[in-house]
């Protein structure tokens, strides 16, 4: 499984540990899109890199970490083909995959501790989309990519 990861300064402290966790514990091929230091950066610059990797098929899933996860989710979700959400619990991660076929999980580096974020990532990457009635709903969401408001 190919996973793209990035953060801003608010998520930088957890990014390396989460990348290592995915590589060693979950056998993922992880690509780190930055940043390389914890200096202040603009989260949209990093969200778009991961979102484009997922949208293009270069990555199967994306993991983004900022202070709350919210800004990264808003930015990543602007890329066609991406279903991103800020997730704060393993239960939400499971439902995000099962019901919404989420492909980019956005985490809080300030309000959720590393061990919980590891469990969120593990749940996100190991839960399958249920399809069925949810397939129709996801198709309607994806159709919004091509509609003009």
Annotated catalytic residue within 28, 66, 106, 134: 66
Q: Is 69 annotated as a binding residue?
A: yes
Q: Are 87 and 93 in contact (CB under 8 A)?
A: yes
Annotated catalytic residue within 28, 99, 106, 134: 99
66 is catalytic: yes
Provide the 3-class DSSP secondary structure of residue 107. strand
Q: Is 38 annotated as a binding residue?
A: no
What lies within 8 Å, CB to CB, of 3 at 6+ separation is 22, 28, 29, 30, 31, 59, 60, 61, 62, 63, 125
Q: Is 127 annotated as a binding residue?
A: no
Q: Is 9 annotated as a binding residue?
A: yes
Provide the 3-class DSSP secondary structure of residue 56. helix
Q: Is 137 annotated as a binding residue?
A: yes
Binding annotation for D-ribulose 5-phosphate: 8-9, 67-71, 100, 110, 133, 137
Q: Which residues are catalytic?
A: 66, 99
Positions at the binding site = 8-9, 67-71, 100, 110, 133, 137
């Amino acid at each position: 499984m190919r996973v793209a990861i990035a953060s801003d300064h608010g998520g930088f402290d957890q990014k390396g540990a989460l990348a290592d966790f995915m590589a060693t514990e979950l056998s993922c091929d992880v690509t780190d899109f930055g940043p390389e230091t914890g200096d202040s950066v603009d989260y949209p610059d990093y969200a778009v890199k991961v979102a484009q990797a997922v949208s293009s098929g270069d990555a199967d899933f994306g993991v983004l970490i900022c202070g709350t996860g919210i800004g990264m989710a808003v930015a990543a979700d602007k890329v066609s083909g991406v279903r991103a959400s800020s997730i704060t619990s393993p239960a939400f991660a499971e439902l995000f995959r099962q019901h919404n076929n989420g492909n980019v999980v956005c985490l809080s580096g300030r309000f959720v501790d590393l061990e919980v974020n590891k469990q969120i990532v593990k749940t996100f990457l190991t839960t399958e989309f249920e399809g069925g009635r949810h397939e129709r709903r996801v198709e309607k969401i994806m159709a919004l990519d091509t509609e003009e408001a």
